[in-house]
A and B are shown apart, each in its own frame.
Chain A
C-alpha cells in the first residue's frame, strides 16, 4: 500500500486532503452546534456577538493559518485547528438561525406540555432546526475542501501542493491536477451531506410531508 501511495503522489495528496477535511469538519460541526445553542439562549447578546464573529470570519484563511503557524508550528495540527475554526462558523450561524426560527407555537406547546429546557431543546427545537443546521454543515464541508488547499502553504501537503507549485512555476496543468480532484472531492462530500440530511431530518419535516 505504502509503495503504491509513494508511486502515485496524487493519490497520496488526495488522501491527505480528505484527511484534513474529515478531521476538521466534525470538530467544527460540534463546536458550531454547541456555540449556536449557547448563543440562541442569549439572543440579546448574540445580536452583538454574531456580527463580531462575522468580521472574524472574513479574515482570510491564509492570514489566520499564517498567524497560527507562529504558535503551533509547521504541523498538521495547525491546519486542523485553522480548518475547524473556519468550519465552525457556517454551522454556528445556521444552528442559531434554525433555533431562533422555531415557531413560537411549538415552544409554547412544549412548555405547556411540561418539557424542561433540555427536553424542549432535544425533542422539539433541534429536530425542527435540523434542516437548517445540516445546511450549515454542507456549506462547511464544501468550504473546508477548498480551504484545505492552504495546508500546502505551511508545507503540510494535500492538493494545495499541486496548486502552489503550479502557480509558482506558471504551470497550468499542475494547477488543474490539484484543482480538479479538489472540486470532485467537494462535490462528493457535499452529496454525502445531502444523503445525511435525508437521514437526519425528521420525516414530518420533509418536502410534501410537513407543513413547512
Chain B
C-alpha cells in the first residue's frame, strides 16, 4: 500500500502540492491526471524521492520512505519515463539488467530475467538482446524501458507519461501490453498521463489533480458517471466528443494526385506515371476543371493508334463533392466497387481522391486518435 499523508511542497512562492493525502492499494493501477502544472509528475517523483516534500510523509507498506536510503529505495521501485531514457551505450540486455546488476544478482539470474522478460513482450532474445537502443523503433525502445523497470520485480512501478511520445497505434498496443502485464504480475502501478482516454482505459482508480490538490479520486466508471467538477467534465468531454464530429470527404481524401491537361501526348503521360509510380492520371480541361481519368492500361491497349490522351479519357468515375458527408462517400466507394472516388471542389476542379487505403487510415485516426 502506498500512502501520501498531508504532503505539501512549493518552489519558491509557487505552491506545487497542497496538503495531498491519498492511498493506493496493492496491485492497483492508479492514474494521476490533470492539466499541466497540476502537480501530477511532482507527486510521482516523490514516491522514489527524486523530489522531496516540504512537509508531510509518504509511506510504502507502512514504512516512511524518508527513513530508507534513497538509492536502495529506487532499486525496489520501477521507473519508466516519457523520454524512454534507455542508455545508448548499453545493449538491450545490459539495459534490462541494470537494476538486477545493481542489486548484485548473479550473471545467470540476469540472463534468465532478460530471456523471460523479452519473451513476455514477444521480442525474441536472439534477435533483440544484443541490439542497441538506437537500432530500434520508439515503440520497441519503450517496451524495453518498461522491461527495465520490471527487471528486479519491484512491487511498485512508476510511469511518467510513458507513451506520450509514441504514435497512436504503438501507444494503443503498449497500453494493451501494460494492462496484460499488470494482470499477470499484479504490480502496483502509478501512471501519469494527460490523456483521459488512456486514464479511463488503464486505471483501476483515477486521481484527478488540479493546482496541487486532488479534485476527485474515483474508479473510471464513477468518474464518468459523476464528474466532481466542471474541469473534470471538460477533460471527459474532450474525450467523448471527436467521435461525433461531422466528417466530410476532405478528411478522407488523398491530395497527392497528378493531373494533366486533355491535349497532352501519350508519351508525356506514361512517363509522368512512371516517374510518380502511379497508374492513373486525373485529366483536366483548359480551365483546370475535372474531365475524367486516363489509365496506363487504356494507353497500352490503344498502343500507337492515338497520339494524345483525349480519346482515352474515361469520365465514368464516381465523383463526390468536398463537403459531402464522409459516411455517404464511404458507402458510395464500397457499393460502386471501384478502386477510388474523385473528390471535386465546388468550381469543378479536382481536389483529391478517396481510396480504400486513405479511408481506412483516416478512420483509424478518428478511432484511435
Contacts and interface: CB of A to CB of B under 8 A. Distances in A.
Contacts of B225: none
A212 B81 contact: no
12 contacts: A105-B81, A106-B88, A108-B85, A109-B79, A111-B74, A112-B79, A113-B148, A114-B75, A124-B87, A209-B135, A210-B132, A211-B134
Given A114-B102, A128-B87, A210-B88, 14 more contacts: A103-B83, A105-B83, A111-B50, A112-B48, A113-B102, A114-B72, A115-B98, A123-B87, A204-B87, A204-B88, A204-B91, A205-B88, A211-B88, A211-B133
B81 A109 contact: yes
Nearest to B148: A113
A154 to B, nearest CB: 44
A128 B132 CA distance: 14
Contact of B73 (A108, A114, A211, A212): A114
Nearest to A208: B134
Interface of B is mostly: mixed
B114 to A, nearest CB: 15
Given A115-B71, A212-B88, A108 B50 contact: yes
Given A112-B74, A115-B102, A105 B84 contact: yes
Nearest to B84: A105
Interface in A83-130: 103-106, 108-116, 119, 123-124, 127-128
A204 B85 contact: no
B71 A114 contact: yes
B89 interface: yes
A180 to B, nearest CB: 40
Interface in B47-101: 48, 50, 71-77, 79, 81, 83-91, 98-99
A109 B84 CA distance: 8
Contacts of A75: none
Nearest to B151: A113
Contacts of A114: 71-76, 99, 102
Contacts of A19: none
Given A204-B132, A209-B132, A209-B135, A112 B81 contact: yes
B135 A113 contact: no
A202 interface: yes
B88 A128 contact: yes
B261 to A, nearest CB: 46
B155 to A, nearest CB: 14
A203 interface: yes
B340 to A, nearest CB: 39
A37 B98 CA distance: 23
Interface residues of A, number: 26
A203 B132 contact: yes
A109 B50 contact: no
A105 B85 contact: yes
B242 to A, nearest CB: 31
Given A108-B50, A113-B98, A209-B135, A202 B74 contact: no
Interface in A164-193: none
A205 B98 contact: no
A205 B89 CA distance: 6
A109 B102 contact: no
Contacts of B88: 106, 128, 202, 204-205, 210-212
Contact of B71 (A116, A202, A204, A205): A116
Nearest to B83: A105
Interface string B133-144: 111000000000
A210 B134 contact: yes
B143 to A, nearest CB: 15
Given A106-B85, A113-B148, A204-B89, A209 B79 contact: no
Contacts of A112: 48, 50, 74, 77, 79, 81, 85, 158
B99 A113 contact: yes
B225 to A, nearest CB: 36
Interface in B89-138: 89-91, 98-99, 102, 132-135
Q: Which of A106, A114, A119, A203 has the most CB atoms of chain B within a 10 A radius of its CB?
A: A114
A64 B99 CA distance: 49
A119 B102 contact: yes
Nearest to B91: A204
Contact of A209 (B75, B85, B134): B134
Contacts of A210: 88, 132, 134
Nearest to B98: A113
A116 B73 CA distance: 12
Contacts of A106: 85, 87-88
Contacts of B148: 113
Contacts of B134: 204, 209-212
Contacts of A211: 88, 133-134
Contacts of A128: 87-89
B165 to A, nearest CB: 11
A157 B360 CA distance: 79
A212 B87 CA distance: 12
A209 B71 CA distance: 31
Chain B CB count within 10 A is highest, among A111, A115, A209, for A111
A102 B158 CA distance: 23
A205 to B, nearest CB: 6
B132 A113 contact: no
A124 B79 contact: no
